[in-house]
Amino acid sequence: MNAAVDLVTLVKAKAKTLNFSLIGICRAEYSPECHDHLLRWLENGYHGRLAYMARNPRLRSDPRLLMAGAKSAIVVGLNYYREPEYNPQNPYLSIYGRSHPYQEIIRAKLHELLEYIKTLMPDVRGKIAVDTSPTFDRMWAQKAGLGWLGKNTLLINKNLGSFVFLGELFLDIELTPDQPSANHCAGCSRCLDACPTKALVAPFILDATKCISYLTIVSDSPIDNLSLIGNNVLGCDLCQLVCPYNKTAVKADDFISPNNMPGNLPGKEEMINYSEFEFNNRFAGTIIADYGFKRFAENARAVHHNLHRASGAE
């Protein structure tokens, strides 16, 4: 391999054969701006019970601490969009919750990509990071040109919108980087206005403790947050559904987002009577199944209460 640009061309072509929706490259270098932003966020207590966010915070913005000798990051995105089918009068399951667990899917594909790179450069070393790894996925994605950080703190791609799972492959070789994405959110505040709990306390700043996704996934009991979670059984898409760049989002492949999983769950009466067997049968292989029947049942009861109250039945 004589030129880095040739390797980049081959790597990007290989990534497409692995069905990645997006791929870009950036330098693996420390970002003091992102580190300072994280420290301020932690000082405000916006992480709540997400204690892992406070452990060694510099690690998230300095890949050299994650992998000694890291020089480049290959950043990938996987589209998981499905038709929301959102109706505020029905129980709702986020598009995220309907998807297959993506971490292992992306990890396996990045491993295959790393093995391919080793056939071209046998001495290369790599480190895979997907979601649970202590890295800033969205920061790397923005630097690698996959999109920009929206005011709802999510990565937005001009063509695919924000329903994109991310992953990184850090390498100890220098690759020609892509241009970072410009931000296209100026003048728009739809996501801020749409958040019913005001979890988006300012553009680009999320108080996770008020976010419906946090309240339905992380908090001890949704019963403590009845007035906040509304009709959301697991996760929340409200700040994304109003984003102009999601209006033209394209449907994901079935391997990441099952085609037979609608957003509107069974009616509120049927839903709270689900048995564990019925839950496992309906949601097998999805993210909501990973969170388990107990979490689903507790959230379903809270949503049932909210919908009854909203309809004037209570």
Secondary structure (DSSP) of 272-287: HT--HHHHHHHHTTSH
Res 4: pLDDT: 53
* DSSP line for 26-46: EE----HHHHHHHHHHHHTTT
What are the backbone dihedrals phi and psi of residue 297, each rounded to the nearest 5 degrees, phi first? -65, -40
Helix, strand, or coil (residue 296)? helix
CA atoms within 13 A on the CB side of 222: 28
Q: Which one-letter amino acid corresponds to residue 243?
A: C
Helix axes 102-120, 4-17, angle to 10 degrees: 140
The DSSP letter of residue 271 is: H
Contact 209, 123 (CB under 8 A): no
Collect the ranges in the chain with pLDDT lower than 50.
Answer: 1
Q: Which residues pair with 73 in a beta bridge?
A: 26, 170
Say whether 131 is catalytic: yes
pLDDT at 308: 86
pLDDT of residue 116: 97
| H-only helix segments in 161-275 | 190-194, 212-217, 226-229, 238-241, 268-272
What counts of helices (H) and strands (E) characterise the chain?
Answer: 14, 10
Give the pLDDT score at 22.
97
Bridge partners (DSSP) of residue 76 are: 23, 167
* Residue 221, CA distances (Å) to 61, 225, 229, 278, 314 in order: 32, 8, 11, 22, 21
* Global confidence as pTM: 0.92
pLDDT given at position 211? 96
Tens digits of residue pLDDT in 120-173: 999 999 999 998 777 889 999 999 999 999 999 999 999 999 999 999 999 999
The distance of Cα 52 from the centroid of its chain, to the nearest Å, equals 17
Choose, from 131, 193, 253, 290, the residue flagged as catalytic. 131
Q: Tell me, what's the pLDDT at 220?
A: 77
Tens of pLDDT, residue by residue over 296-307, are 999 999 999 999
Taking the CA atoms of the chain, what radius of gyration do you get in angstroms?
20
Assigned CATH class of 4-83+99-171: alpha beta
Q: Domain residue spans in the chain?
A: 4-83+99-171, 194-310
C-beta of residue 292 within 8 angstroms of C-beta of residue 101: no
Q: Residues 6 or more apart from 235 whose CB is under 8 A from it?
A: 93, 94, 95, 96, 97, 212, 213, 216, 217
